[in-house]
Every structure is written in structure tokens, then in C-alpha cells.
Structure 1
Amino acid sequence: MASGEADLVIGEGRALAAHPLRAAVLRELHARPFAPAETPRRMLHAAFLLDPAGAQADRAALAALCTARGLPAPAAGAKYHHVSFGGAELRWESHAEFCTYTWDLPSSGIGPGALPFQPPAATLASPFGEVPQPGPLLVAVDLHLVQDTAEDLYLDKVFDRSSLARADVNDGFAEIASDFMADPSGYVRILVRDRGLGGDAAGALVQRLLEIETYRTLALLGLPEAQRLAPAVARIEGRLAAAATEMTRTKGLSDNNALLDELVALAAELEAGATASLFRFGASRAYMEIVRLRLATIREMAVPGFPTWQQFLDRRMAPAMRTCFTVEERQEKIARKLSNAADLLRTRVDVELEQQNRDLLTSMNERTRLQLRLQRTVEGLSVAAISYYVVSLIHHLVEGIHESGADVATLGLHLDVGLVTAISVPLAVLGVWAVVRRIRSAHGDAD
């Protein structure tokens, strides 16, 4: 990129530094310019779906072909390339998920009694073999730009009358016609009758018509995805309704947990499908909007007895697009309802867990109270037992002193063993009880 594309010169030797993306943004407006088209012309247009690896291989193959022919190769990152191969012109375009090849071939037009699209496209398509097929073919168009002869009789020989859509466009300077059906060679035929368009206007019209056919086909890729997801969405929706009914009857933590696990599994399945289809449905919506914009740009006027392209596509495409968007909306609504149901059920489970915990704490408190009573009972028995042993020791001590006799007589004392033992009983009990109480008080367990 030249520095002048990025910087803004404001004087001799001075420039304002531009945003790094300024040049890319400015170039985007001119990434796919209209190529003038001189009537008569025959154009074969094809679009191929690509993954990132296929896009790189396609660009490399085109560059190799151009180099082998001594022609300029597409610049790195270029989205559009135009080269001449003998008498044919090739226009290559790179898009997010597809690429297009358009071969612009000279045509002799329609002479008296001659039909358009002659010779058949299959005999003219050999240039497509110059480049390896980039990916699966999705769009193939045979567009014939001819001078208007005011002759309509041949249209029934070229198109299926039941599907033929016609319209005057560009303020009446051209007429377009197509039945949007593949011919025996696999090409969708589009006839453009020039009534004084001029080269630039004809080139712009041709490109818009090719884009309409390309993008309307790409938009319809969402329909198989919607049809694939519809049974699973319906099943999840039905199971959600059943689960919501079960929620009014389930009791007990185990039943609610089982129901919650099922709702979570349904939500995961739905989210997997929605994530997989997110790009496809979004792309279909974007492509359909491009089709509508292109149809608005060509300014159709109805030809009596025939639907316009807008009317035809609205009637045939609208149901398919509604199917896609309905499945997408159902996914979003069911996801919200699943989330709400899971939240309600989770709340019920939490309440039941809290109730169980409360009951468990109550049971633990009761067991603790019983243990405390048992402990105090044991302590009482312990006081009695220890007091008994203390009194026994006192009894043996007094009895021994009494039996010795000599020391007691010397002191002038007379010991009554029974009386001393009796007196020691309450004293021992009070003493042991005081010691036990002091120990409990030291452990913070006093009454």
C-alpha cells in the first residue's frame, strides 16, 4: 500500500497520520466495480462454496493460471480480479464463504428466427476448466444480453411459461426475464433485452442480476438446515410442555432432581443445534436483504400477464425464509422457556434442600440435647461413684487409725468409725460435685 493511501498530505513535507484501517475502508467501496458491458454479450457465471483452506487454494490456483498466461495475478488480499483470456473476460470475486467466476463472452445476438442462449452453455463453458474447481458448485447462470427485438414469441421456447418472471427495469431501458430453473446443462438462464442502456448501465444491471441469483440461492441454504432442525425443535418443545405439566405433580427431591437433569439435557441439545445453525440462519437473513436491495435498485415495472422478479421471489422464497426464521425464533423462545422452567425447578430443589437441611439441623439439635442429658446423667453417676470411693478411703483411713489405738489414746481422742464415715459422705459428695462443676466451667459448659 502506498503511503499516500494512508497519510493525508497537508503541505510540503507534512502529513497527518491516518488510522491503519483507513486505506482498507476506502478501498472497500471500490472492491467490486461494475464492468461495462457492450450488447450483445453472453456471460457464464458460477459460484462455489469455500472453506478457509479452499479459499487459499482457489486464490493460489488463479494466481498460477494468470502467471502461466503472462497476466497479472490478483494482489494479496484482493477480493476482485479482472483479466482477459483471448476473446473472453474473466471476473473473479472472493467472498466470505464463496467465490465467483464470471466469463464474459462475445455474442452475435439474436438474428431473425434465432433463439437466445444458442449455442448451449455447455459448449461455451470450457474456460471453467482452466482453473481447478474451488469447491462445491452452488450457482450456475447463463446470462444473455441482447438488443430488444420486441419479439416475445421465442420466450416460451426458452423458458418455462409457468415460472417465467418478466419486468421492465432501469426506467424501461431494459427488460429482464427468467424462470429460475436449470436448463439441460445445469445453468439458470437470464435474458436481458437492451433498449438503450449504454455500456456502464448495462454492466451495472448485469452484475446486479447475477448477484440476485447468487444471493437468493445462498439465502435458501438455510432451508435444509431449518428442515433438519425442525423435528428436534418440535420434540424438545413437546417434552418441555410435558415437563412443565410434570412440575405441577412432582414431589420429593429425587423426582425434582431427575426432572431438572432432563431439562438441562434438553437445553444443552437445543443450544448445540442453535449454535450450529447460528451462522447459516444469520447468513440467510443477510443474503435475503441483499436480494431485496438489488431488486429495489433495478426499479422493476410489471409486464402485463407476468410477475415481476420481486413478486416471483416473494411468492416462492418467502415461505422458505419464513421457515428458517421461524425455526430460529422457536429456538430462542424454547431456550428462554427451558431456562425459566429450569430456574423454577432449581428453586424448588433449593427449597427442598433447605427444608432437608433444616430438618437435619433440628434432628442434630435433638440428638445433642439428648447427649447433653445423658452426659449430665453420667456426670451425676460419676459424682456418686467418686464420692463412694472417697468415702471408702476415709472409712478405711479412720478404721485404721481406730484399730491402732495407741496414737489415738495418747491424743485423748475417741474415733467412732461409723460416725466419721457418715459425716464424710455429704462432704465428699459436695467436694466432688464442686470439682466437676469447676471443670465444666473451665470448658464453658456451666449451666
Structure 2
Amino acid sequence: MLQDHGLRRDIVGEMHLRRWPLIEAPLEIYQIVRLCAADATGADSIPSFRPGGQPLVAGGNRHLSGELGADLRFTWERHSEATCLTLFAQPGTPLIGPALAWAEAMPGEVVRATQIVIVADDATAQPLVDALGYDPAEVVSCCIGGGARIWSDFRIGEQGYGRLTVAANGLHPVELGRAVQAVQELGNYRNLALLGLPVARGQWSRLDAADERLRKIGTMLEEGVATDNAMLDELCRLSLEVGSIGSATRYRLGATAAYARLVQERLEALCPMPLRGYASLTDFAQRRFTPAIRTCEAVARRQGELADRSAQLSALLRTRIETHIEDQNARLLASLESSAANQLRLQHLVEGLSSVAITYYAVALIRDLTGGLDAFGVVVNHELLLAVATPLAFLAVYLFTRRARSRLFAERKNQPR
């Protein structure tokens, strides 16, 4: 018996999600992509489909698929921040009305809804395309997947659905399904990516204001027209502002960049073949989608540059403040050193005077001690004795004081710091 890793089956199952059933013309596909709150993205939040009062769908996890009735299938999947429900209906099935009502009643805000009509060939598709009344200047048409052809203006119709017509042109059902699914994923990821454009535009004026404030702080720092503390306070406020902009845009613009890469990957996988007189999917993306993504990238890049410049200016100002502090400390140390030198000179003077005073008392003591020698019959020349004893006493006191001071300094020098 194999001992599976706890995530093995989830990992393998992930590789089999988001697959459509075989697609054969004629067929109608309805797909709705919604943004949902974090607590409303599970399959348990899906209302049951009840034709005739009997629930046919209920519960699940991240992916559901099955049949809602005769000639009507569905798939549902949960992405990181969105859910996607797709209905596959044979033309004329009576359940399509209730199924659409069920799909439209699900929770979440719709970011894309598409109606896809798949027919056998170009000849069958042309009357349908003419009936849709596409603006010739807006219609996008090209070949995808090795032979299938699509028509769309990628605009929202009166019922809230975008309209896409596909001619299979003999493409195998597996290849046709992959091609149509790739076209849908391209459009879904495109809309999800473009959610970052209003966010980017909304922060542009704040970035302009922050850039101007940063320029003024740099001028003040260069010209020295404000105190260091005032400039540091202004820089702190500016850094908080730039950080607030980053917090407000980081997730959405990061998601936009990720979705844009997925759009590019799907576009490369489809290899659209342009048709004369029509714009292709590549033309549509380069003309409209790419500039929007460049705007989002510019906002993210500019926010990062402002943060870096603010950090550099803060580091420069802190270096300047630290230099001023070091200069103040040097001047303070110089002052302390001068005071210590003066105190040492004063101490030497006091030591000299102390030596004289101690010598005086020592000589007086010698005089008193020798004053009584006459009573023992010892004759002493007191003047000569004091004349000789005075310099000797002074020298002894001086040497003793100097030695004691040297020993004291040596002990202090050897003490651990």
C-alpha cells in the first residue's frame, strides 16, 4: 500500500481542472466570470439548480461539472479571486432559460459575461455575424487553433453579454475546445488585468504630489534653508505617504502584472492568423490592452522609484545629522580635554605648594626634635642643621609625591574598561 503525501491527490487533481468537455458544432456556450468575497468563493455558495423542484447540483469544492438536463452541461471553477461558470447548451434546449437565470443569480460581481455561438463553417456563421450588426471598424476576426475562425467586437450587448461567433471549419472537437477555451481565458484574464487600470490612474495625482514634495525637500537640503529636524519630519511624512500609495496599489497592480503575463501566454498559444480587412486578436491586444498594462507598470515602477529616492534622501539627511553630532562631540571632547589639561596644571601647582608646606612642617618638626639635645650635652648647630635638612626634606617630599602619583596613574591605566 502506497503511503501518499497529504497533498498528492490535490496536486494531481489540479492538473486536470479547467478542462472543457468535447465541443461539436452547433453549440451555444454561456460563460460568467465573477469577483467574489473571500468567504463566498466556495462551491457551497452556489444555489441549487431546481427544474421541476428537484436539485441537480449542490455542494462541492473548487471545481464542479456535470449535466443540468438534456443537452445542457456545465462547469464551475474557483480561481484565486474569481469564479467562472460555463454552460454548454445545444441550440433550442428548453432548459437554457432557467439555466441562465440560475447562473445569473449566483453571488459575486460580474467582470465578464460571454455568449459564444459555434457553427460548422464560415458559410453558416456569416448570416449570424451580419445579424449581430458589428461595426466594421470594431470587428475582430482571425483564424485560431489551426483552422477555426472567430468574429467579435468584444463589446457588451444589450443583455449584458459579449458576443462571439466561432466557425469550426472541420477542426477536431478536442482542438476546437482548446482553442475556444484559450480565447475565453484570454478575455477573462484581460478583464481581470484591466481592473488595475482605474487603481493606477487614481494614484497618479498622488504620485505627482509626492514627487513635487520630494523635489522641494531635496532643494531645502541643498540650500540649507530649513533645519535638519524640520526636513527629517517632512521626509517621514512623505515616506508614509509613499508607503500608503504602495499599500493601496501593490496587490491590484501585482495581480494585473500576473494576469497580463497569462494573456500574453494565451495569445502566443493561439497563434492568431490575421485575415485581410479585419483586426486580429494580436492587433486588438496591442492597440488597447498593452497601453493599459504599460500604464499600470509605470505607476508601480514610479512608486518604487519614489520610495527609493525618499530612502536615499533620508539616508543623506541622517548622514548629515550624524556628521553634525560627531562635530559637536569632537568640540565637546576638545573642551573636556582642555579642561582636563588646565586641571592637571593646577594640580601640579597645588602639588608644588603642598610640597613646600609639608617641607615647612617637616623642618619645624626636626627643629623641635633637635631643640632638646642640649639638655643631654649634645651641642648642635641648629642653623646649619636646618639649612641642610630643609632641601633634603623638600626633595624627599617631592619624590614621595611624584612616586605616589605615578603608581596611581599606573593603576588606573591597568583597570579594565
TM-score, L = length of structure 2: 0.81
**Partner-residue secondary structure (3-state), 2:223:** coil
Distance 2:357 2:350 in 1: 10
Determine the structure 2 residue equivalent to 1:233. Answer: 207
* 1:53 lines up with 2:39 in the alignment: yes
The 8 Å contact of residues 119 and 166 in structure 2, kept in 1 or not, is answered as: yes
* 1:430 lines up with 2:395 in the alignment: yes
**Partner-residue secondary structure (3-state), 1:183:** coil
Distance 1:156 1:164 in 2: 13
* 1:143 lines up with 2:116 in the alignment: yes
Structure 1 residue 37 displacement after superposition: 2.8
Determine the structure 1 residue equivalent to 2:144. Answer: 169
* 1:221 lines up with 2:221 in the alignment: no
Determine the structure 1 residue equivalent to 2:27. Answer: 41
Determine the structure 2 residue equivalent to 1:155. Answer: 130
**Partner-residue secondary structure (3-state), 1:182:** coil
Structure 1 residue 18 displacement after superposition: 6.9
* 1:248 lines up with 2:222 in the alignment: yes
* 1:273 lines up with 2:245 in the alignment: yes
The percent of aligned pairs where both chains have the same amino acid is: 31
The 8 Å contact of residues 48 and 56 in structure 2, kept in 1 or not, is answered as: no
Structure 1 residue 179 displacement after superposition: 2.0
Alignment CA distance shift 1:190-1:325 (3 Å) = same
1:370-389 superposed matches below 5 A:
370-389=342-361
Alignment partner for residue 323 of structure 1, among 283, 290, 295?
A: 295
Determine the structure 1 residue equivalent to 2:66. Answer: 83
**Partner-residue secondary structure (3-state), 2:113:** strand
- RMSD between superposed Cα atoms in Å: 3.7
The 8 Å contact of residues 35 and 204 in structure 1, kept in 2 or not, is answered as: no
C-alpha deviations, 1:380-414, integer Å up to 9, x for none?
22223333444455566677x5xxxxx83552547
Structure 1 residue 373 displacement after superposition: 0.7
Letter in 1 for 2:34: F
Alignment CA distance shift 1:283-1:410 (3 Å) = closer
Determine the structure 2 residue equivalent to 1:411. Answer: 377
**Partner-residue secondary structure (3-state), 2:299:** helix
C-alpha deviations, 1:46-93, integer Å up to 9, x for none?
1122343222xx322339769x956575655xx421122224322101
Structure 1 residue 141 displacement after superposition: 1.9
Alignment CA distance shift 1:63-1:124 (3 Å) = closer
Determine the structure 1 residue equivalent to 2:308. Answer: 336
C-alpha deviations, 1:198-238, integer Å up to 9, x for none?
54344333322322221110010111221233223333333
* 1:190 lines up with 2:164 in the alignment: yes
Stretches of structure 2 lacking an aligned partner (at least 5 in a row): 412-417
Structure 1 residue 191 displacement after superposition: 2.4
Distance 1:421 1:167 in 2: 129
Stretches of structure 1 lacking an aligned partner (at least 5 in a row): 8-16, 110-118, 402-406
1:64-83 superposed matches below 5 A:
69=54, 71=56, 76=61, 79-83=62-66
The 8 Å contact of residues 41 and 106 in structure 1, kept in 2 or not, is answered as: yes
Structure 1 residue 150 displacement after superposition: 5.5
Distance 1:388 1:362 in 2: 39
Distance 1:33 1:343 in 2: 54
Distance 1:163 1:423 in 2: 126
The 8 Å contact of residues 204 and 299 in structure 2, kept in 1 or not, is answered as: yes
Distance 2:312 2:193 in 1: 33
Determine the structure 1 residue equivalent to 2:284. Answer: 312
Alignment CA distance shift 1:20-1:383 (3 Å) = same
Determine the structure 1 residue equivalent to 2:414. Answer: none
Distance 2:379 2:24 in 1: 150
Determine the structure 2 residue equivalent to 1:359. Answer: 331
* 1:96 lines up with 2:70 in the alignment: no
Structure 1 residue 32 displacement after superposition: 1.6
1:99-118 superposed matches below 5 A:
99-108=83-92
How many residue pairs were aligned?
405
Alignment CA distance shift 1:220-1:50 (3 Å) = same
Farther-moved stretch of structure 1 (362-371 vs 46-55): 46-55
C-alpha deviations, 1:282-320, integer Å up to 9, x for none?
322222222233333334333443312221222111111
Determine the structure 2 residue equivalent to 1:439. Answer: 404
Structure 1 residue 263 displacement after superposition: 4.0
